[in-house]
Amino acid sequence: MCGINGIYDLKTIQNPRQIIESMNQSMVHRGPDAQGIYEDENIVLGHRRLSIIDLEEASNQPMTTSEGRYTIVFNGEIYNFQEIKNLLPNYPWKSKGDTEVILAAWQEWGLNAIKQFNGMFAIAIYDKVKNDLHVFRDRLGIKPLYFYYNETFFLFSSSVKSILESGLVPRKLDQDSLIDYLRFQTVQTPKTMVEDVFQLEPGNYIRVHQDGIEKKTYWALEKDYLPVPRNYDTIKEKVRELLTASVERRLISDVEVGAFLSGGIDSSLIVGIIKKELGRDISTFNVNFAEEEFSEAKYARLIADKYQTKHTEINLSPKDFLEKLPEALNKMDHPSGDGPNTYIVSEVTKKQGITVALSGLGGDELFAGYDIFKRIPEVQNKKWLLSFPVYIRKLMAKGLLLKSNSIASRKVGEVIKQPYFDSEYIYQFNRQVFMDFQIEKMTGMHKLPVNSSFALGHEKIGFDTPGWNLPALSKISYLEISTYMQNVLLRDSDQMSMAHSLEIRVPFLDHKLVEYAMGIPDFAKYPHKPKKLLLDAFDDLLPEEVWNRKKMGFVLPYEQWMKNELRGFCESNLNALKEVGHFQNEEIDKLWKQFLNGNKILSWSRIWSLVVLGNWIKENQIEG
């Protein structure tokens, strides 16, 4: 796990090595163990290393093939590198790690090498002979890769902050991305909050050469899935086989591996697989913020006792969390309405001597763990509503608001007004934070950009698109994975864990498991009980107490903090937000006063997303 940087085409760049040194320095936390720089006539590459596989200097980067043609910088892990290495017996190996395996595979197979890799990665490979650069991102977007280009050069990095640190990119806010953030507390790939800085889409690569750049897709969630036979016993066996293999791959390491154990289904399953299926010992970590009656710690203890793990229970008070909150926000590479929880969990885990931790992230998205996997089918069963003219349905929506003027009622009203009840039409409101009418008031804009989640769904899984034949529940999985998971959960996991030089691995996002799960028919996946298929596949691993209960989470008094201990912090950052010139400032003041006065429609999380954005703009000196 590392951080990578690079600049291609240096004709107009002064002191390129010094720029890369500054970019490397800005993300020491991503790789505190070693750094390196490669320079050639037309390119400079930088690397920061967190040593996990092959701790020797021979695996330091940038790494160049023996004849000097190919040079690589790489962030991530290739879990099947030993299998690939066995296919290349004639290569003159100098190290024992996965980086050199990528180079050897590239030298042998070229672009076809990427399809061999099972892992999480952002890779850049420079060909000195052809004078071209290829940059790749893994299939599910676990590892970040940001880039900027103009008519004279191409710049890439693992970090938005490092790109800004280069001094080559204007620190200007992207207006369309601002609307995206106000809707979703994040910005959907490929955009970022900085104008003309992009994030490479998962499963894509870019080739940069003297005549320009080309972007292509090598894997796509909506079409690279497998047809699954309608036999429930066979499906259960295959899910068990694939998840077990995935967990086993993610235990490969030359440093100690631990596991987050929240006490929920996904993390508990991973621990059960490690101990019972694989016969391995594991250290588990439960970080708890809540009072005992809200705590999941007892369920984590139950699993830890059942599988005799080396269990560490870390109890943090709200005061501990409060003290860390501003620090966590200042470490945020890209603004997000969530993230501080992961920052603090990662910090305490790292202090226990763990460098790699397994997480249950992805289980909900793949195996229908959210309420939306029930809500959308329920709406689609009410297609008779579409027989009413639109003006009648608009009246129904107004009636809902008269009955209950809540955000939930507004969302239901928006759904009723849609021309169709297909997933892409109704999903777009699922994770929306501020509704469009509120955003129009805040920004003074009368016509907002098309909702990005609708545009994505319409293009990829709408009628007559690559994914339109996906099972209905897998269409919801597609939308969850491509929006919330990739652009909130994975982004936050990476930026907040790497702030403490901790690598998080996600067994549920092994692409072989994902390809199979996306093709599973709805009857097998429908959550009659929480993640029914997953529980049935591993029916011998989890006691009923773990899954037959209400889903829980961190319970923290954010609203109270924002009105008291964090009030000055919030007001300072809301003022910073007003200075960028994209807001109707009186509306920001009005929202803050409504929140302070206890307006129930205006939840703390909506105001908090504005505070986070203001803090990020201020810390990164972003201009309107």
Confidence class of residue 402 from pLDDT cuts 50, 70 and 90?
A: low
207 by DSSP, 3-state: which?
strand
Does 129 share its domain with 170? yes
Q: For residues 589 and 165, is the Cβ–Cβ distance under 8 A?
A: no
**Span 49-83, pLDDT tens digits:** 999 998 899 999 999 999 999 999 999 999 999 99
| CATH number of the structural domain spanning residue 186 | 3.60.20.10
Tens-digit pLDDT profile for residues 554-593: 567 889 999 999 999 999 999 999 999 999 999 999 999 9
Using DSSP, state whether 155 is helix, strand or coil: strand
- Within a domain: 32: yes
Answer yes or no: do 193 and 123 share one domain: yes
Residue 517, domain member (yes or no): yes
The pLDDT value recorded for residue 322 is: 86
pLDDT, tens digit (0-9, with 9 covering 90-100), for 518-557: 999 999 999 998 999 999 999 999 988 888 777 666 567 8
183 within 8 A of 440, measured Cβ to Cβ: no
Give per-residue pLDDT as tens, 443-486.
Answer: 999 899 999 999 999 999 999 999 999 999 999 999 999 999 99
Q: Please write the tens of the pLDDT for every residue from 126-143.
A: 999 999 999 999 999 999
Nearest Cα to Cα of residue 185 among 591, 604, 583, 580: 604
Catalytic annotation, pick one of 2, 537, 541, 542: 2
| Total domains, the chain | 4
401 and 460 share a domain? yes
Mean pLDDT score, 596-617: 92
Shared domain check, 136 and 241: no
* pLDDT at residue number 21: 97
Whether the ω angle into residue 190 lies within 30 degrees of 0, i.e. cis, is yes
Instruction: Establish whether 2 is a catalytic residue.
Output: yes
Spatial separation of the C-alpha atoms in residues 602 and 584, rounded to whole Å: 18
DSSP labels, 337-373: S--HHHHHHHHHHHHTT-SEEE--TTHHHHTT-STHH
Question: What are 34-50's pLDDT values in tens digits?
Answer: 999 999 999 999 999 99
Q: Do 586 and 492 belong together in one domain?
A: no
CB atoms within 10 A of CB 314: 18
The pLDDT assigned to 296 comes to: 82
Cβ–Cβ under 8 Å, residues 51 and 59:
yes
pLDDT value of position 398: 79
353 and 453 both lie in a single domain:
no
Mean pLDDT of 190-205: 98
Q: Is 354's pLDDT higher than 90?
A: yes
Q: Are 208 and 222 in contact (CB under 8 A)?
A: no
In a domain, 226, yes or no: no
pTM of the predicted protein model = 0.95
Residue 182 lies in a domain: yes
Q: Within a domain: residue 553?
A: no
Q: What is the residue range of 126's domain? A: 2-217
Q: Are residues 210 and 243 in the same domain?
A: no
Final residue in a domain of this structure, among 426, 451, 471: 471
Q: What does the pLDDT average to over 204-215? A: 96
For position 1, what pLDDT does the model report? 67
Cβ count near 598 (within 10 Å): 9
For residue 461, being part of any structural domain is answered with yes
Shared domain check, 524 and 566: no
Contact criterion met (CB below 8 Å) for 122 and 137: yes
Task: For residue 222, tell me if it sits in a domain.
Answer: no
In a shared domain, residues 347 and 389: no
Last residue of a domain, one of 471, 505, 526: 471
Say whether both 362 and 378 belong to one domain.
no
Whether 181 and 204 share a structural domain: yes
Query: Last residue of some domain: 495, 528, 547?
Result: 547
Residues 503, 214 contacting (CB under 8 angstroms):
no
**Residue 265 counted as domain residue:** yes
The pair of structure tokens assigned to 497 is 């864990």
Residues 318 and 425 in one domain: no
Summary mean pLDDT of the chain: 93
CATH of the domain at 341: 3.40.50.620
Check if the beta carbon of residue 393 is closer than 8 Å to that of residue 537. no
Look at the chain and count its residues: 624
* pLDDT of 292 over the 80 cut: no
**Helix (H/G/I), strand (E/B), else coil: 204:** strand
pLDDT value at residue 384: 85
Statement: residue 397 has pLDDT above 90:
no
How much is the pLDDT for 290?
A: 61
